Amino acid sequence: FERPHNDTINFSNRGMTLEAELNESNKYYLNKEIAVIHKKPTPIQIVSVDYPKRSAARIKEAYFRKASTTDYNGVYKGRYIDFDAKETKNKTSFPLKNFHKHQVEHMRECLKQQGICFAIIKFVNDQSVFLLKATDLIDYWDQQQIGGRKSIPRKTIEKIGVAVPYQINPLLPYLRAVDSIIE
Amino acid sequence: FERPHNDTINFSNRGMTLEAELNESNKYYLNKEIAVIHKKPTPIQIVSVDYPKRSAARIKEAYFRKASTTDYNGVYKGRYIDFDAKETKNKTSFPLKNFHKHQVEHMRECLKQQGICFAIIKFVNDQSVFLLKATDLIDYWDQQQIGGRKSIPRKTIEKIGVAVPYQINPLLPYLRAVDSIIE
Ligand SMILES: [Mg+2]
Ligand SMILES: [Mg+2]
């Protein structure tokens, strides 16, 4: 019996979005009582609802709204966890336009309350995932406002971020990366 | 000039729901950089969406889903805050049926991670608001499962809960009640 020739096994599933991968990982963390972290529902502006007599209320007209916070939050080791997940097809850098102003302001506010805030960034091209601290993201964001670059070089993310390699359970062990940024 | 004859002034607004009162209070806490606490969007099951050429995507059919967590969460003094808000028209007790099983299980899970969990309960009849610790709520909930009462007497809530009197800013100073339950 011989070991397969591929030295590094990548457990990532090319059909899965980063969001689905994180939701699955969060389910694992919840079941193992390691953390309670959920994705927030998508905010919807409801315009019109039907209330049929013998069945469930039916929303007939509604629109997607821009989120005013990040997508994920919860609790881990008593600490408040807050992050957003972003995928990019870009190979050499992460474009800052992936974030809305409101999300960055939300992170700034959570940091003031000593929350643990970060972004999970996936380069879909080669299925690499990194945790980037909100403080680093905010540095680049603020620089951009005064004429700085519109993206963060991948090389920088590799250096200042924390790699989150795929594994089996959980698929994306990002709380290990969180451990490394909690002082 | 004489002081008005009413000794206790109630700043509550009978037209406002508890949720609106909490949202307003949270806005105050956010602006004053005291805490970052938001209501989660209502979870919706989207069935059909129209993508018109020159305007926003329009949801044509969707249904309300039951929340699997509580409605509010966020961060205060570095601690994870998690709660649900419930109104009752009942004068003498708070019916436990106001909670879904999933919400109580969610609170149980957050407590294991050392989150600060509670319910904000409003007796609309006389506009009285109380903070009830999740541990107390869960005690009553579990007792109910084995044949105990289906509601918590108001007298008990007055005794083991923390009153949240209306004031001007914030309208519902519930974080003061939270201070009293953080050991
Ligand atoms: Mg997102
Ligand atoms: Mg509620």
Give me the mean pLDDT over the A9-19 stretch: 75
Instruction: Tell me the sheet residues that pair with A58.
Output: A50, B63
Residue A47 has pLDDT above 50, yes or no: yes
pLDDT value for B1:
47
Grade residue A4 by pLDDT with cuts at 50, 70 and 90: very low
What's the mean per-residue pLDDT of chain B?
Answer: 92
Give me the mean pLDDT over the A27-36 stretch: 98
Range in A4-18, A95-109, B146-160 with the lowest mean pLDDT: A4-18
What's the mean per-residue pLDDT of chain A?
Answer: 92
Could you give the percent of chain B with pLDDT greater than 70?
A: 91
Instruction: Identify the closest residue of chain B to A115 by CA–CA distance.
Output: B78
Which of A28, A75, A81 should be substituted to probe chain B, the one whose Cβ sees the most B Cβ atoms within 10 Å?
A75
pLDDT value for B16:
86
Chain A: closest CA distance from residue B117 (Å): 11
Could you give the percent of chain A with pLDDT greater than 70?
A: 91
Residues on chain A touching B112 (C-beta within 8 angstroms): 33, 36
Beta carbons within 8 Å of B137's beta carbon, 6+ residues apart: B99, B104, B107, B118, B119, B152
User: How far apart, in whole angstroms, are the C-alpha atoms of residue B182 and residue B118?
Assistant: 11
Residues of B at the A interface (Cβ-Cβ below 8 Å)? 30, 33, 35-36, 38, 40-44, 56-64, 68-69, 73-82, 106, 109-110, 112-115
Range in A4-13, A105-114, B117-126 with the lowest mean pLDDT: A4-13
Residues of chain B under the 50 pLDDT cut: 1-7
Grade residue A14 by pLDDT with cuts at 50, 70 and 90: low
pLDDT value for B66:
86
pLDDT value for B54:
85
User: Any known ligand binding at A126?
Assistant: no
pLDDT value for B8:
53
Ligand nearest to the CA of B39: 2
Instruction: Identify the closest residue of chain B to A48 by CA–CA distance.
Output: B60
pLDDT value for A54:
85
Any idea of the CA torsion for A166, A172, A177, A182, to the nearest 10 degrees?
-170
